[in-house]
Amino acid sequence: MGMTIAEKIIAAAAGVETVKPGDIHTVELDRLMSNDGTTHLTIDMYHKLKNPRIADVNKLVWIMDHNVPCDSVKTAASHKKMRDFAREHKITFYEGAGVCHQVMLEKHVTSGELIFGADSHTCAYGAVGAFGTGVGCTDYLYAMVTGHSWLLVPETLRFNLKGKLGDGVYARDLILSIIGQIGANGANYMAMEFGGEGLKTLNMSDRIAVCNLCVEAGAKTALMEVDEITLAYLKEHGREPKHVFQSDPDASYARVYEIDLSAIRPIVAKPHFVDSVVDAKECVGTHIDEAFLGSCNNGRIEDLRVGAELIKGRKVHPLVRFLVVPASAEVYRQALAEGIIDTFMEAGAIVMNPNCSVCWGSCQGVIGEGEVLISTGTRNFKGRAGHKDSFVYLASAATVTASAIKGEIATAADIAG
């Protein structure tokens, strides 16, 4: 029996010829990413060990990104703990470089790797053909101490992409459509594998957006076929693939979906569930108080370009706050060079430093009771962006920017002309 991409990566990491879904293997991990959401607790547990040790410090990457810059005295205590530990143990450490997954994809991850990240959106690394999966701090600590962990081989869902996304339709619309189709637990415990001719029409930014959000369908990981676009991205960032695995023709899938990209339409996910998706048209006219363009899902230069093109020569609606947050320092500087930051500021947007920002509701742009946000963030759970009785709609960079201009939910088509 052939293997899927996920199975091949696990087999290689376990040092065995073949694996099958349901098997539990001990796997060697290539990288271990942790951020300020949980690292302070990992450190506390580390210090309680009888024999604290780090198997291979070169595998560790720690990224301060959730509450950056620090927002409170309590956060400062947690941040200091993380910063001091990283310095003492010579752990690769970033602060101010951007959202962890964007930084990892720009600077570290390569094809065929198996990566634990103490953050659920670690599945984003599938965009370059790496098996990334989110873990808690106990799993993280165990892997940090031993260099390995246990992994149950997931079943795989296969998505064959064909055609091309239409004008004004983006990767965000694609993945929200898929999540709406399979449900918030439609891929629970499973890998989501993407391939087919349609994949060639998606650039790296699109692929990251798709893989990043797969955890919202419950997926353990997401993986895309490695092709010339992936290899060019890695080369541009100075990296070589570790392995290039493709699924075998006789690989076994739990289910296979055929996705026609040309049939995808602008989508909005309504409060309070990511799978609560509707055609964006159904939400047009909904009142908003704030709009957010950023996050590991849609804060890349490609997303900022979409927003800037729409807002150039227009203004943010006077009753709306429009927060724009580049996903990384690299993206921010590129946007500066292209004049994009100037365009947003000219229109009245608030441009923030790279960090998780509004997406996680703890640091910047927090919304109050009864307020409504439209966001390119990852989640729209109850209270995700602030008060427990507030409302978050998720949409593409184009829909979010159009809404910021209109002062109510709108698609790019609604503000044209």
The binding site for other proteins (CB under 8 A) comprises 24, 36-38, 40-41, 44-45, 49-51, 66-67, 74-75, 77-78, 81, 118-120, 122, 134-139, 141-142, 145-146, 150, 184-185, 188-189, 215-216, 218, 220, 273, 360-362, 366, 379, 381-384, 388
Q: How far is the CB of 118 from other proteins (least distance, A)?
A: 6
Q: Are 104 and 65 in contact (CB under 8 A)?
A: no
Q: How far is the CB of 396 from other proteins (least distance, A)?
A: 21
Amino acid, single-letter form, for residue 23: D
∠ at Cα 115 (114, 117), nearest 5°? Answer: 160
Q: How far is the CB of 173 from other proteins (least distance, A)?
A: 21
Q: How far is the CB of 33 from other proteins (least distance, A)?
A: 11
Q: How far is the CB of 49 from other proteins (least distance, A)?
A: 6
- The residues, ordered by sequence, that sit 6+ positions from 346 with a Cβ below 8 Å of its Cβ are none
Q: Which is nearer to other proteins, 37 or 299 (CB)?
A: 37
**DSSP code of residue 378:** S
Alpha-carbon Rg for the chain, nearest whole angstrom, is 21
Q: How far is the CB of 351 from other proteins (least distance, A)?
A: 22
Distances (CA, A) of 268 to 82, 99, 152, 275, 353: 37, 23, 34, 10, 26
Q: Which is nearer to other proteins, 16 or 336 (CB)?
A: 16
Alpha carbons 382 and 20: distance in angstroms, whole number: 37
Q: Checking DSSP bridges between strand 148-152 and strand 24-28, what pairing results, if any?
A: antiparallel
Alpha carbons 365 and 95: distance in angstroms, whole number: 20
Q: How far is the CB of 92 from other proteins (least distance, A)?
A: 20
Beta sheet of 221-224, edge-to-edge order? 221-224, 191-195, 156-162, 255-260
Q: Are 119 and 134 in contact (CB under 8 A)?
A: yes
**DSSP code of residue 414:** H
Please list the residues that pair with 134 across neighbouring strands.
117
What torsion do the CA atoms of 321, 381, 114, 31 make, to the nearest 10 degrees? Answer: 50
256: exposed, middle or buried (C-beta count within 10 Å: 0-12, 13-18, 19+)?
exposed
Q: How far is the CB of 31 from other proteins (least distance, A)?
A: 16
